[in-house]
Amino acid sequence: MGTSVTALVAASAVLAVLVGGVFTVYLLRNRKSKDKPARRDRNSVIKDANRQLAQNPKDHRALGALADLYFDERAWDKAIKLYRVLQDLSATNNNIDGWFVTMRYGLCAMQLRQFAEAYKALVIARSMKNEAFEINYNLGFLEYKRGNVDRAIQLLREANEAQPDHIPTQRYLGRARFKQKRYREALEMLRRVVDAEPEDRESLLYVAQSHFELGRSDQALQIFAHLRPDPVLGAHASLYTGTIRTKKREYDQAIMDFEIGLRHENTRPEITVELRYRLATAYLEKQEIGKALQQLTEIQDLNPDYKDVRDQISRLQELNSNRHLQTYMMAPASGFVALCRRMVPTFHQNAIIKITDVAVTKKEYADILADVSTPKWEDVILFRFIRGTGSVGELMLRELNSRIKEVRAGRGYCVTAGEFSDSAKAFVEARLIDLLGKKELLKILNKVE
C-alpha cells in the first residue's frame, strides 16, 4: 500500500513538472510574441510622429503621441518638454485638451522634483477640473510640504475618497492630521500606512509621536527605542526616548538615550541643541554639575540665546564653586534639611538652640521650629528656607505669618536663594519676620562648618 502511494505521488510530481514546464514555455512564447508588436508599435509611433512633425512642427497629434509615449515610459524630461509645447498651443487650438496636457506637465514636473512648476501647473489644471485624483493627491502633497496644512487636508481628503486604498494619500493625510494636533485621527491613519509599508520608518516615527502626545508613553517608548539606531531618524527618536525616561526619573537610561542621539551624524542643528539641553538637565538631576556645564557650554557655542542657557551657566558655575550652595539648591530633601539644621545656629551666636520640629513642603522649602535661649532672652523662632532662585512674593509671606501664629512662635526668618518682591517686603514691615536673600544666604553658608 505504501509503495503504491509513493509511486502515485512520484507520478503526480513528474506530471506537475511537465505541466509546469509546458505552461512556462507557453508564457515565454506568449511574452515574446507580445514584445515584438510592442517594439514595433513604439517605433512606428516615433517614426510617424517625426514624419508629421517634419511637415508641421506644431502638429498637436504627433506631439501628443510622443509626449504620451514618453510619459508611459517615465522619460519625464522628454515628456515635460512636449507637454509644455502642447500647453502653449492649447491657447489657440481648441482640438488640444488643455486640462490634460497641463495636468501631465504638472505630473512630469513632480517626478523631476520641479515643485514650483508642478504647483503652478496643477493649480491651473484643478481650476479646469477639480475631481481628478492625480491632481488632488499631488497638490495635497505640495501644500503639505509648503506648510499649508488645512489646504493639504482638504485636497488629500478628496483624493482619499476617490481612492481609499492609496497609501501615499493616507501617509500625508495622517501626517497633516498630526500637525493639526488631531493625534487620534493621525494615529488611526498612519497605522494603516505602516501596516501596508513596514519600511516607512518616518510614518512609524509619527505613530510613536502620536502615542506620546496621547499620553501613551509605554507604547511610544517601545517604538522610539526601535528607531534609535536609524541613521536618519535615530537622533529624533533618541530625544523622545530620553525625554520619556527623564519623566520616569530613569536618569541613567535617559543619559544613554541622549548620548546615542548625539552620536548620529548629519542631525538637524535644532535637534542636536535640544539633545544637549536635555542631557544637561538629566545630569543636573544626578547632581553632576560639571557634566551639565559642559553640555550647556556646547549649546552656548552653537546657539548663545537658546532658552535659559546663559542664566543656567552662570548659576551652575557658582554652584560648582560652592559646595554648600550646591547642597542647598540641588541635594535630595534629606541633605537639604541636614544643611538647614546646621545653618540655624549661625543666626544667633552664643545661644542655646533646640530644634523641636522640621517640615518639608514639596521639596520647595523647609520649616524648622526651634527654641532659642540667650543670656538676655528666650523665644520660639520659625526658620523657613526656600530653595528656589526666583522672586518670593507676598503670598508666601502671608502663609509664613499664619504658620508663625499657628506654632506660637515669637518671630520668623525667611531665607531664599532668590530675592523678595516689593509687596513681600512691604508685608513684613510691621511684622516680626526677617527676610534674607541670596547675598545673606551665601554669608550664612560661609559660616557653616
Phi/psi zone of residue 106: left (φ > 0), alpha (ψ -120 to 50 degrees), beta?
alpha
205 and 297, same structural domain? yes
> Rounded to whole angstroms, what are the CA distances from 118 to 113, 115, 149?
8, 5, 18
365 and 227, same structural domain? no
Is there a domain that residue 417 lies in? yes
252 and 128, same structural domain? yes
CA distance 48 to 46: 6
- Find where cell 560648582 sits: 320
Give the residue numbers spanning the domain of 145: 51-313
Q: How do residues 189-207 score in pLDDT, each as one tens digit?
A: 999 999 999 999 999 999 9
Count of structural domains within the chain: 2
Helix H, strand E, coil C: the string for 309-342 is HHHHHHHHHHHHHCHHHHHHHHCCHHHHHHHHHH
Q: How do residues 20-59 score in pLDDT, each as one tens digit?
A: 333 333 233 333 333 334 444 889 999 999 999 999 999 9
Q: Quote the mean pLDDT of the chain.
A: 89
Residue ranges, the chain, pLDDT below 50: 1-40
381 and 241, same structural domain? no
pLDDT at 173: 97
User: Which parts of 264-322 fold into alpha helices (H)?
Assistant: 269-285, 289-302, 309-321
146 and 83, same structural domain? yes
309 and 340, same structural domain? no
pLDDT at 310: 93
- Using an 8 Å Cβ cutoff, are 203 and 190 in contact? yes
- CATH number of the domain that residue 232 is part of: 1.25.40.10
What's the pTM value of the predicted model, to 2 decimals?
0.72
340 and 253, same structural domain? no
- Find where cell 540667650 sits: 374
340 and 214, same structural domain? no
Is there a domain that residue 92 lies in? yes
